[in-house]
Amino acid sequence: MLPGSAGIGGEPRAPVRKAGWIGYVGVCRRPRTDRPPGRIDSDVVSLSIGIVGLPNVGKSTLFNALTKNDALAANYPFATIEPNVGVVGVPDARLGALAEMFGSAKVLPATVDFVDIAGIVRGASTGEGLGNKFLANIRESDAICQVIRAFEDADVTHVDGDVEPSRDIETINTELILADLQTLEKALPRLEKDAKRNAKDKDAQELLRAAGQAQDILDSGRSLYAAESVDTDRLRELSLLTVKPFIYVFNLDSGDLDNEALRAKLQELVAPAEAIFLDAKIEAELAELDEEEAQELLESMGQQEAGLAQLARVGFATLGLQTYLTAGPKEARAWTIRKGATAPEAAGVIHTDFQRGFIKAEVVSYDDLVAAGDMQAARAAGKVRMEGKDYVMADGDVVEFRFNV
């Protein structure tokens, strides 16, 4: 490996200087004070999903299953950052194959942060239950995952008496809309003042206009994500909730997991948003099993993929994210980037120095690499490309970056 390259590499090591290449070999991790220990050091494009729902729908069961995931806990010693934040690895079979090819000691999947909040009840926005103060916990998340009870169990009470998914979805959506309306009502006097005082400031005018439009949409009972007429980018500073994409998780009886008619009916309630069907109790069991046993249990229920894996995958797709891969003796690893990211931007996810000092990227697509058998054969077959700073990354690119810092 060339000095000053990173990616298909090994241990983080001290800076090396050689033949005009100055840089770090491998992935450097500097302790950063703004992240909890054990987190990856870099400007990681992290995906965070806030979990909401009525009380007793299975949120905690699901969250516990997410955070108990042994495979991941082993790789991330601080998998539970705070009591209500869990880090979940995105299952990626490509990593196992790369680890075998490169003899990697560890496999590090891309991750999703899940934020669990207390249940929302009807009237939360007017102070019922815990009120909506706790919604602050999910204001920074990228997407909202709504858990909906579709399981029958006489021993588990339903806050509204019976199991009725469409009503529950309506309740939660209404509370989120009301929470956003409150945020806007609080912010509007300030935005109006700013716009008046800075009559020539186009941004202030546009922000006020967008806030007004958002208020109209919310007043009509609609969420902002689906509304195309409002410039939600402008509203970012207000951390509104309904500008985020929603992912719906239906918590079913295990016997209903393969009930296609029921699934179709539930999917229809939330279309065009994505729906995921799982049994939170089974997910909790799956999290305790090793991979083989888990697969057996899934198959016995006619399922291919654990619900939690679906959740991570759908979260990635919903937010327009993809991964590229690096592999070496130390680790085989997936890194999260936005679709359309260039090679230097992708390098910056490992370390900002890699972006600043980017020279080029040695890239081979995962499929080409696997077809060739190893890097040497892929090179011999002309499948390994040298790409410059304008290269737009593709999902599954296996990359080694060359940089100079």
State the residues that interact with ligand GDP by CB under 6 A. Answer: 53, 55-61, 119, 151, 153, 156, 251, 279-281
State the amino acid at position 349 in one-letter form: V
Q: Give the residue with the Cβ less far from ligand GDP, 150 or 218.
A: 150
CB count in 10 Å sphere of residue 320:
10
CA 3, CA 16: separation in Å to the nearest integer?
7
Please identify, using beta-carbon distances, which residue of 53 and 328 lies nearer to ligand GDP: 53
- Angle of helix 307-318 relative to helix 59-68, nearest 10 degrees? 90
CB-nearer residue toward ligand GDP: 150 or 325: 150
| No. of helices (H) and no. of strands (E), the chain | 13, 16
Q: Is 148 exposed, middle or buried (0-12, 13-18, 19+ CB in 10 A)?
A: buried
CB of 64 to ligand GDP, least distance (A): 8
- Beta carbon nearer to ligand GDP, 57 or 195: 57
By the 8 A CB rule, do 249 and 312 touch? no
Nearest distance from C-beta of residue 281 to ligand GDP, angstroms:
4
Least Å distance between CB 353 and ligand GDP? 42
3-class DSSP assignment, residue 148: strand
- Residue whose entry in the numeric block shows the structure tokens 């009120």: 131
Comparison of 56 and 215: residue with beta carbon closer to ligand GDP:
56
Q: Minimum CB separation from ligand GDP for residue 126, in Å?
A: 21
User: Residue 272: is the preceding peptide bond cis (ω within 30°)?
Assistant: yes
Decide whether 65 or 343 has the Cβ nearer to ligand GDP. 65
For tokens 């509007």, the residue is 188
Instruction: Give the residue carrying structure tokens 């900002």.
Output: 352
Closer CB to ligand GDP, 52 or 235, in the complex:
52
Residue 54 C-beta: closest distance to ligand GDP, Å: 7
In the complex, the smallest distance separating the C-beta of residue 301 from ligand GDP, rounded to whole angstroms, is 12
Q: How far is the CB of 392 from ligand GDP (least distance, A)?
A: 41
DSSP states along 317-330: HHTTEEEEEEE-SS
